[in-house]
Amino acid sequence: MAFRIIRENIVNVEADAIVNTANPKPVFGSGTDTAVYEAAGTEELLKAREAIGEIAEGEAAATPAFGLHAKIIIHTVSPLWIDGSHQEIELLHRCYQSCFAIAEQNECRSIAFPLLASGSNGFDKSTALEVALNEIQNYTMRHDMDVLLVVFDKTSYALSANIFQDVTSYIEEHQVREAQDMEYAAYPRERRRKGKAQFFSIGSSNVLPTFARKEEPVYEECDAIALPEKEDTFQARLFELIDASGKTDPEIYKRANIDRKLFAKIRKDENYKPSRKTAVALALALHLPLAEAQDLIGRAGFALSSSTQADLIFRYCFENHVYDITQVNSILFQFDQEML
């Protein structure tokens, strides 16, 4: 999997490169920085960091990982938030770019980031998240490195207020509608039950009612029963949609955040049945409207209902053209749902 968000202490994560939120000078401060030094071995890591010297905001440098489960530690200096007009956003983008460049130079196949600048640096958490997701998406679309965004707890992670409120309102609205449908669905059934017996009186109120006699159905003769034509399989429909989109296979499976080997299996086997997560991810990668997404997912034997929170999030994303898999996963993470 190319990109995942996990809730964990970054010092416990296994990856080729662990990113540390570093001090510009060769000293370590509080938070993630302290945890990384203590887990790696304070004396050894500080000595290696002193050999590098000062690091400018937006830049990064690598040291051995020592006691961590990694090849290297990449130290990057996040900018301090002043007022938004001092290149803070640009410098934060550069932090991620610098870390990816160093990971490539060291032939790393995986990298783990904390949510840079979201703590004592003063960035709004939703702004820090937006920058992280943007840079991770841009990188994973062009490279095969596995990327982890490691969040210690939910207080250090936040969607923008607008997106969070939109999704929350959408879920609540559909849950209310579902409850109403269930409540009022019973009424027609009761009415049908009461209407089953019809009574007829014959002249006098003393005559007991009699049930109407049911007529025997009349069947017409027919030569043959026309069976519906067999529909395309998931695999056939998927590649029809890819051809129509004008996108290449790598563009689609990278957008879907799925492995190249898995995609190759789907292409080779016309009867391949993907998992539910894979079907949804591919529908998102194709930027399908809700009706077409439901059709594709249905060919894999699944449906998007209005009764589960995850399905409502997917429906929201299709209806509102939120197709970026990193953004979709960030919404799922915020609502404690399993990610794609």
CATH of 3-157, one of 3.30.565.10, 3.40.50.300, 3.40.220.10, 3.90.79.10: 3.40.220.10
Q: Does the annotation mark 33 as catalytic?
A: yes
Q: Which of 33, 259, 269, 295 is catalytic?
A: 33
What is the per-residue pLDDT for 119? 77
User: Model-level pTM?
Assistant: 0.76
138: closest CA among 325, 295, 301, 7? 325
Query: For 31-81, how does the pLDDT look when each residue is reduced to its tens digit (9 = 90+)?
Result: 777 889 999 999 999 999 999 999 999 999 999 999 999 999 999 999 999
CB-count exposure of residue 336 (10 Å: 0-12, 13-18, 19+): exposed
Give pLDDT, residue 50.
Answer: 94
Domain ranges of the chain: 3-157, 159-176+232-340
Position 160 scores a pLDDT of: 65
Which pLDDT value is given to residue 231? 73
Task: Name the stretches of the chain with pLDDT < 50.
Answer: 186, 189, 191-193, 195-212, 227
